[in-house]
Amino acid sequence: MISWKLVQKAKGILEKERGTVQKPWGGKISICLLYPNTYHVGMSNLGFQTLYQILNTEQDVVCERAFLPEPEDIEEYRDTQTTLFSLESQKPLSQFDIVAFSISFENDFMNILTLLELAHIPFDSRFRDGRYPWVIAGGVAVFLNPEPVSEFFDLFILGEAEEAIGEFLEVYRQIVLEKGKKEKEDCLRKLSGVEGVYVPKFYQVTYKEDGKIEAMDPQPGIPKQVKRRWVPHLDGFPAQSTLFTPDTEFREMAMVEVNRGCPRGCRFCAACFVYHPFRNRSLPLLGSISEEALLKQHRIGLTGTAVSDHPQLLSLCQHILSQQGEISLSSLRVDSVTSSLIRYLIEGKERTVAIAPEAGSERLRKILKKGYTEKEILKSIDTLVENGLYQIKCYFLIGLPSETDEDIKEILQLVKRIRHQILSHSRDPQKRWKLILSVNPFIPKPSTPFQWLPLEGVGELKRKLKTIQRGIHGGNGIGMIHDLPKWAYVQALLSRGDRRVGRILVAAHRSQGDWGQALRETPINADFYVYRRRDLDEIFPWDFIDHGFSKEKLKEEYLTAMKEAGVTV
């Protein structure tokens, strides 16, 4: 049974797309690439689009897409007992050889279960025989820590997938296609030898009486550590938008990835560490793919973990403008805000710029290893408004290590000074200006120097948010957006949990997203993962991943930061 209403909706989505790849299935490896959020969100993800393009360049592969349906469509799937199908051909996911998830955010973990349920695929990988597709995953959320969802997947590709996916397909061709699906076990064993491939079933986790991990032991012949994949030469894998639709956050814009990694080493930032080392694409390549992208859209969105650290950013902007293109940047470093760059952005029709002070006090910024002085921050504001950019967004974190109420007050003081700078240095006082604060709880992430820290209590985070909201109330032109602290709790649980947290995910799915009920129903103490400062010598669930730097190095950074914060460890 299939819902005609859902099929017609899928066809309507396709009609609005440009760049869709549709291939005949005959004799090909069929892969359905899933994004565990809505079409609008998934199609805004450049990594998802890049993987779709790479897979479809393989002659013997047909790659289609599926997304989390809208709430009313989920009900339609369930009411009509329609099996979740792909966008391109409307074939049920159960007919694909491989179902591949691209997972960017921990808060999408529960959507994985919704998608598997709609696809009529068992959650637990142990219960999927040859009648079911392989279920695999990649994406930054799982190469930080795949353990909370490890029982739902046959394997993970950890790290940057561009090179690894080709090696994965080669092994798959050799064993599964030649010997049949019954050889899945042999194929998984061979794949576990491919750098970056993690097969959870081959690792046995044991726990101490206090709940901490005692050991994570691989089966004979399986590597003890899995090396995260990274691409040494990014020019070999250009990343730009290939699919275009009005139903996305970045409509009328083509995204171009400029670089990966970050040279700054901020202690809270996972992207800085897991995308290590810092790599830039060359100016000739960026110029070439920008020209190609401008044939599809008139605006280029330059993305990356450290866009403004590209040494030839000004030349790239100049090149795009010379092609009559417009420019957008995700955010700017405080110390990269120069008159030359801002003039290029203004000429390129950019109207809003984001900077990230992260904390109100210089003391906290030093602990974060983001040591901008207030003078430097205000100078960047001066440069923005003097050159005609009046729409400014500032990112702040709350719940940072050793943070006090005085530090929260310093956020408000800094905001007032920024507002004063905008008003006093604006060439046109009547010009409409806007200052948006994006204030979010600090979540200690795996594989960073702050991975030993706990999340601050939800009650305290709420109180601090209210303090900031009250402090900016009545300030004309100032707005504030923020995540809810309860979702910070869930994200901390899912990003820092071990395999046992998968049971909480299943319970949350069964209770239709009622996390309170799920936490009450399961015998697992979620606070153990969220609110506990980790021991210095503790084994973390993600320690089996080799990101190219030692845990001892992270520990040194952590201890230095705690010494600067005056915190005894």
Domain CATH code at residue 309: 3.30.750.210
The pLDDT value recorded for residue 130 is 84
Tell me, yes or no, whether 286 and 137 share the same domain.
Answer: no
Tokens of 3: 């819902």
Return the pLDDT at 54: 96
Asked if the structure places residue 290 within a domain, the reply is yes
pLDDT for position 139:
96
At 427 the pLDDT is 59
The token pair that represents 158 in the structure block: 């950890």
DSSP string across 478-505 = EEEEE--HHHHHHHHHHHH--TTHHHHH
Whether 526 maps to a domain, the answer reads no
Residue 520: half-sphere exposure toward Cβ, Cα within 13 Å: 5
pLDDT of residue 488: 97
Residue 448: inside a domain: no
Range of the domain at 108: 4-215
Same domain, yes or no, for 29 and 150? yes
Question: CA 419, CA 413: separation in Å to the nearest integer?
Answer: 10
Reported as a single tens digit per residue, the pLDDT across 265-283 is: 999 999 999 999 999 999 9
Question: pLDDT at position 426, please?
Answer: 64
| Final residue belonging to a domain, choices 215, 239, 262 | 215
Both 19 and 160 in one domain: the answer is yes
Cα 153 to Cα 164: distance, rounded to the nearest angstrom: 17
- Does residue 159 share a domain with residue 35? yes
Q: In the chain, which residues have pLDDT < 70? A: 179-182, 426-431
Does 211 share its domain with 234? no
> What is the C-alpha to C-alpha distance for residues 443 and 400, in angstroms, rounded to an integer?
9
The pLDDT score that the predictor gives to residue 207 is: 97
Whether residues 64 and 198 share a domain: the answer is yes
What is the number of structural domains in the chain? Answer: 2
Residue 259 and residue 207 share a domain: no
Residues 31, 120: one domain? yes
Please tell me whether residues 182 and 242 are part of one structural domain.
no
Rounded CA separation 456/440 (Å): 12
d(CA 462, CA 1): 47
Compute and round to an integer the Cα radius of gyration of the chain.
Answer: 24
- Structure token pair of residue 348: 């390129």
Domain-ending residue, one of 330, 361, 396: 330
What single DSSP character describes residue 133?
-
Number of Cβ within 10 Å of residue 126's Cβ equals 9
Residue 432 burial (C-beta neighbours within 10 Å; 0-12, 13-18, 19+): exposed
Q: Which of 302, 330, 358 finishes a domain?
A: 330
Q: Residue 173 falls within a domain, yes or no? A: yes
234 and 210 belong to one structural domain = no
Cβ-contact 358, 395 below 8 angstroms? yes
Strand partners, 391: 352, 434
Torsion of CA 521, 516, 542, 99, to 10 degrees: 80
Instruction: Establish if 432 belongs to a structural domain.
Output: no
CATH number of the domain at 32, please.
Answer: 3.40.50.280
User: Is 124 in the same domain as 176?
Assistant: yes
User: What does pTM read for this prediction?
Assistant: 0.95
pLDDT at residue 163 in the model? 87
Does residue 205 lie in a domain region? yes
Rounded Cα distance, 326 and 565, in Å? 43
The verdict on residue 203 lying in a domain is yes
The SS3 of residue 392 is: strand
- Look at residue 241 and tell me if it is in a domain: yes
- Residues 195, 251, single domain; the answer is no
pLDDT at 419: 92
